[in-house]
Amino acid sequence: MAKIDSNLVQESFIKYVKVNTRSDPQSTDTPTTPGQVELAKLIVNDLHEIGVSNTIFDSKSGYAVASLASNVSEDISAIGYIAHLDTADFNADNISPQIHYNYDGKDVVLNEKKQVILSPKSFPKLKRHIGETLITTDGTTLLGADDKAGIAEIIGMLKYYVDHPYVKHGPVYVAFGPDEEIGKGAKQFPVQLFPTEFAYTLDNGDLGEMRPETFNSFTSRN
């Protein structure tokens, strides 16, 4: 069985984290920052490029939405996948991703000059990723894996379906939305463009982890 194109996922991820999409709780615009519009449009472009033609940027809500038609004759329910465009309230200027291949389980120097070290002493979970590729910042910004990892995974999934039409699926809807970190994006969700009863949000957590709750990072912070 063919696999998801991990190069595409990594390339998309690196490209998306470089767009500053920090949301702004003070702004009254939708989305609250122009970088989020830039990223949404970039995603729409990329989706067209990989052959997902039914793709739009909804300027009213700030959401990019795409769908794949069912490729089975049975009438089965649609499923949705959602990820957010914005990043948390931390420096996101000039994000410079660093790729560390074949991680050896030791300290990772993010920034020699500023002596920023990513250490398994502080983050014991790092030890679970020995032998894997790590992607980090240069220690001066956030990375934005929350939630550009979610976006890149969804792009990888869509490409997989496009390239492997023998893999059967019902209608698939995906949505990439703004201002999740500040609790504003969900209110704008363009329900009329997303006719699904069920959807998954791809946002953090460990590999293989699934939570049934309706998560809202805004209320859980208060």
Distance CA 189, CA 15 (A): 25
Q: What are phi and psi of 158, to 5 degrees?
A: -65, -40
24/146 with CB nearer Zn ion: 146
**12: helix, strand or coil:** helix
Residue 46 engages Zn ion in binding (rule: CB under 5 A): no
* Packing angle of the helix pair 6-17, 34-49 (nearest 10 deg): 160
23/55 with CB nearer Zn ion: 23
Interface with Zn ion by CB under 5 A: which range of 10-18, 51-59, 65-73, 140-148? 140-148
The distance of closest approach from Cβ of residue 147 to Zn ion in the complex, given in angstroms and rounded to an integer, is 4
Q: Is 86 a catalytic residue?
A: yes
Q: What are phi and psi of 102, to 5 degrees?
A: 50, 60
46/181 with CB nearer Zn ion: 181
Q: Which of residues 143-162 bind Zn ion (CB under 5 A)?
A: 146-147
Interface with Zn ion by CB under 5 A: which range of 17-25, 30-38, 110-118, 138-146? 138-146
Distance CA 21, CA 15 (A): 12
Annotated catalytic residue, options 24, 86, 179, 181: 86
Residue 186 engages Zn ion in binding (rule: CB under 5 A): no
Interface with Zn ion by CB under 5 A: which range of 21-29, 135-143, 160-168, 203-211? 203-211
The distance of closest approach from Cβ of residue 84 to Zn ion in the complex, given in angstroms and rounded to an integer, is 6
Annotated catalytic residue, options 24, 146, 179, 180: 180
Name the nearest CA neighbour of 186 among 220, 154, 217.
Answer: 217
Q: Tokens 């910004």 appear where?
A: 141
Distance CA 16, CA 19 (A): 6
Angle at alpha carbon of residue 163, lines to 161 and 165, rounded to 5°? 60
Which residues of this chain interact with Zn ion, rule CB under 5 A? 146-147, 203
Q: Which residues are catalytic?
A: 86, 180
